A and B are shown apart, each in its own frame.
Chain A
Amino acid sequence: MKLFGIETEYGITREDLEESDPVIESMELVRAYLTKPFRQEWDYSMEDPRQDARGFRADHLAQDEEEKAFEKTDRNRPFSFHEMKSDLALTNGARFYNDHTHPEYSTPECRSLKDLIIHDKAGERIVQECANRRNALLGHSSVQLYKNNTDFHGHSYGCHDNYLLPRTMPFEKIIQGLTPFLVTRQIIAGAGKIGIETPGGLQPGHFQLSQRADFIEVEMSVDTMSRRPIINTRDEPHADRSQYRRLHQILGDANLSEISTGLKVGTTWLALRLIEQNALPKEAEILEPVSAVHEVSLDTTCKKSIRGFKGKTISPIDHQRLYLYAAKKQFGHENDADTQWILKTWEEVLNDLEFNPERLISRLDWVAKKWLLQTYMDAEKVDWKDASLIAIDLEYHNVNPDRGLFLAMEMAGNMERLSTENEIKDAMTLPPRDTRAAIRGLCIERFHSQIDSVQWERIIFKKGFLKKELDLKTLFEPEDVLSLKNRLSGLSDIAHFFS
């Protein structure tokens, strides 16, 4: 089974205002995508963030009280809940909406890493295009968007990586096998951060690998907005529940580097396959994984020992190598292009982290950001405590090409690419061809006026007073997608499909 997707919550700001309303700003940003008035069509009926994969439904979430307080304020606004959410299903199969006051772009379901990277980048371009339209309306370039995970004042927002798995994989096995892997994954997938965020505020003078590590508090939980876990136990499969589960991982950083994104998702996918095939390295266990997440994030050498199996110690680089070697042994013979790319690049990156980290400036976000900051510090003769470094960190993530520092590095040819601008441009409107996103995209493109509601696993059409459902809950085989696509493509009216 190979199907993944990435959800990204963007930070948003209005630079012309001392204080802006994030609900309104996010709503207006999303609506800038529209060329027609907003029509509510996202179907929330299958969503239940309290359903726990450990086999129960949580009676409450840690964020409930804070959310209630915000809802009370939100009720005073002249907009309904649905208007504020402004949930859109796009022709490329993606979802774009205002989630908890952040513009969120969820990629369509992708079957290859390349498609995933292209669609993640298409999301960056779409949100920036919306910012351009909003700024044109405002008459100044005050709306800026950040693909990061912190405001440096103790507020974090997420970038979630998702994997479709067979329901037959016991969740306990996933927890046991994946937790240690995720502790050290940040050495290749961290986006880098200035300072340490504590309840007492930001402690300057440090550079760490991960944006998100400071916010990880427990090993596992269904919560996502406080008491954030290493393993999120939310059980929303967005597929036939009897056959599938969706692993919804919330501890990762939002990456701009295509290599970081590819390795983040690719290595996790291989680790999950190792778990499925009972081929995990036996020595990979980590003691006190939550503390280890923080320790690893603060070690930019990636070599300081963490406590592992039977009291032994191991460096984060060697810990990742345990998984790499197990994956090479188990999957090295496969012809799958993604598998070969992951194994090769994973090994190169771990070797370079150990022997020559500066070779990774063009590949990993945290290394690129550290190099940028060091370059600035050398030129300005300041140290890691200098306050301007926080602003430079933030600007690394700005998705405005006139401002963003990552984008400046990319445009100068300093960052390794896996996508082309033409591929990204196409993905702004076209879905991946071999997943059910192709069907969703086609229906939105061709039969939009006949759609009553849409979501990941079904589309409901209006047919007079009757409603007809196009069930996508089990549509995962590429040949089934193609066959359905061919049937739908020839229709002038969706009613003919149901007649």
Chain B
Amino acid sequence: MHPALERREQPINPLEKPKEEAGPKKPDTDSSRENLLKRMKKVDPKQAERYRQRTGE
């Protein structure tokens, strides 16, 4: 059997996993959101237009 199909016969949805606390969680981005937004708003929109590089490997 195709392993991907085999997988679907065994529930692996991480939301249903009993060891939920062992896996990664959605990061707490709410507290840093405002600071990140401030930093993003400071970015000069023109800087990408000026950014020119030579081809590398």
Contacts and interface: CB of A to CB of B under 8 A. Distances in A.
Interface of A: 9, 11-13, 15, 18, 22, 63, 66, 70, 99-102, 146, 151-153, 155-158, 160, 224-226, 250, 281, 283, 314, 318, 321-322, 325-326, 348, 351-352, 355-356, 358-363, 371-372, 375-376, 379-380, 387-388, 390-395, 403, 405, 408-409, 412-416
Contacts of B45: 387-388, 391
B56 A355 contact: no
Contact of B28 (A351, A395, A414): A414
A160 B27 CA distance: 29
Interface of B: 2-4, 6-7, 12-15, 23-29, 31-33, 35-37, 39-41, 43-48, 50-57
Nearest to A157: B56
A100 B24 contact: no
6 contacts: A156-B55, A225-B56, A372-B40, A403-B39, A413-B27, A414-B28
A355 B13 CA distance: 7
A409 B29 CA distance: 8
Contacts of A403: 39
B53 A155 contact: yes
A333 B17 CA distance: 22
B56 A408 contact: no
A74 to B, nearest CB: 11
A283 B6 CA distance: 14
Given A226-B55, A359-B25, A412 B31 contact: yes
Given A352-B14, A362-B27, A363-B24, A225 B55 contact: yes
A248 B38 CA distance: 40
Contacts of A151: 51-53
A101 B56 contact: yes
Given A352-B24, A412-B36, 20 more contacts: A11-B51, A11-B53, A15-B47, A63-B55, A99-B57, A151-B53, A157-B55, A157-B56, A157-B57, A158-B56, A321-B4, A325-B3, A359-B26, A361-B26, A375-B40, A391-B46, A393-B48, A403-B39, A408-B32, A414-B32
Given A348-B23, A361-B26, A405-B36, A156 B4 contact: no
Contacts of A391: 43-48
A348 B48 contact: no
B44 A100 contact: no
Contacts of B12: 351
Nearest to A360: B24
Contacts of A156: 55-56
A364 to B, nearest CB: 10
Contacts of A371: 29
A68 to B, nearest CB: 14
A225 B57 contact: yes
B48 A152 contact: yes
A100 B56 contact: yes
A412 B57 contact: no
Contacts of A326: 3
B40 A376 contact: yes
A363 B33 CA distance: 17
A153 B47 contact: no
B54 A100 contact: yes
B53 A157 contact: yes
Contact of A408 (B28, B35, B47, B51): B35
Contacts of B29: 361, 371, 375, 409, 414
B32 A412 contact: yes
Contacts of B43: 388, 391-392, 395
B4 A155 contact: no
A408 B39 contact: yes
B55 A356 contact: no
Contacts of B14: 348, 351-352, 355-356, 359
A413 B32 CA distance: 9
Q: Which of B24, B25, B27, B57 has the most CB of A within 10 A?
A: B57
A409 B51 contact: no
A22 B54 contact: yes
Nearest to B5: A318
Contacts of B39: 403, 405, 408
Contacts of B6: 325
Nearest to B38: A408
Contacts of A392: 40, 43
Nearest to A325: B3
A409 B56 contact: no
A152 B45 CA distance: 13
A412 B35 contact: yes
A394 B56 contact: no
